[in-house]
Amino acid sequence: MRLPKREAAHTLVEFVIAIALGLVVTAGAVSLYRSQRNAFESASDATRIREAGLSALALIGQQIQMAGFVPADIAAFDAPAALFGCSGGRPTGADDSPTCESLPGHSDGVAVRYVGDIVSTWPSSTGQVTDCLGQAVANSNVALGAQGVLLVNRYFARVSTSTGEPELYCEGSGKPGSAQPLVEGVERVRLRYWLGGAANAVDASAITIDQWKNVAAVDLCVLVRGAPQQRKGHYVDCDGVNNLATDMRARQAFWRRVAIRNVAEDAL
């Protein structure tokens, strides 16, 4: 039986209203899902940034604390300066006479020297002293005895040629000339040095070769970059300058002051 036109029109209106309400509910659910997803991604990114920043501070800071260390069973060793740094570059060249190579990201670099043994470093599977990458380092200095090994670990940050992401790198004595990444996301390392008796910290470029033995503390900062987000954001860099991240990536700087435990008393 065919329905009257009046009843058919009434049914069509109800159908249109139901569709409209369904679309409103669906749009609300999608909007809520997107906002929750963005909030989750933002929180996850912030966590990754924090973990990367703290890890980088711990790795570099621990090595700087070891600068100039010599085991007690080594009576005397005339070692080079415990630290050598570069402003906007990385240390390259021979361990006893390094030079600086500029980096595109203007990240600072530092070379840390100390005498390692199987107590101050994790021993390798063959019982040898290891560098910052866990690589075994053979003893080539008779004056250090059977266990002591002069280690030179070089830290800097640059963009990876394989992933395109900035990373913290270390080049150790176990394989000179072959730096390996340690922490992803570290866009810049900033280092300022306190000379014994000085009123202010200075950049590496302001320190002469003879003054490196007088460094008593280091102000360390790492700037970490996160994943792409949906909006621009402000951040404070390692120089204390407020910047706008136009590439839609969150950034955060982490600071730490590290005392040189093994600095000579006459250098203070």
Instruction: Find residue 244's DSSP bridge partners.
Output: 234
Mean pLDDT by 10 residues, the chain (268 residues): 52 76 77 68 87 96 93 73 94 90 94 89 87 86 62 95 94 92 96 94 94 95 91 90 92 95 62
State how far the Cα of 51 lies from the Cα of 168, in Å rounded to an integer: 13
Cα torsion 106, 55, 252, 33: sign: positive
The domain limits of the chain are 30-267
pLDDT of 15 reads: 73
pLDDT of 266 reads: 47
User: 118 in helix, strand or coil?
Assistant: coil
User: In a 10 Å sphere around its CB, with 0-12 CB exposed, 13-18 middle and 19+ buried, how is residue 203 labelled?
Assistant: middle
pLDDT of 27 reads: 76
pLDDT of 142 reads: 45
Whether residue 82 contacts residue 130, with contact meaning beta carbons closer than 8 Å, is answered with: no
Whether residue 156 contacts residue 107, with contact meaning beta carbons closer than 8 Å, is answered with: yes
pLDDT of 207 reads: 95
Q: What is the phi/psi pair of residue 48, to 5°?
A: -65, -40
pLDDT of 127 reads: 84
pLDDT tens digit sequence for 98-142: 999 999 989 999 999 999 888 888 888 888 899 999 999 987 554
Q: Which H or E element spans position 41?
A: helix 5-66
Counting Cα atoms < 13 Å in the Cβ hemisphere of 182 gives: 27
Q: What distance, in Å, lies between the first and last C-alpha atoms of the chain?
A: 105
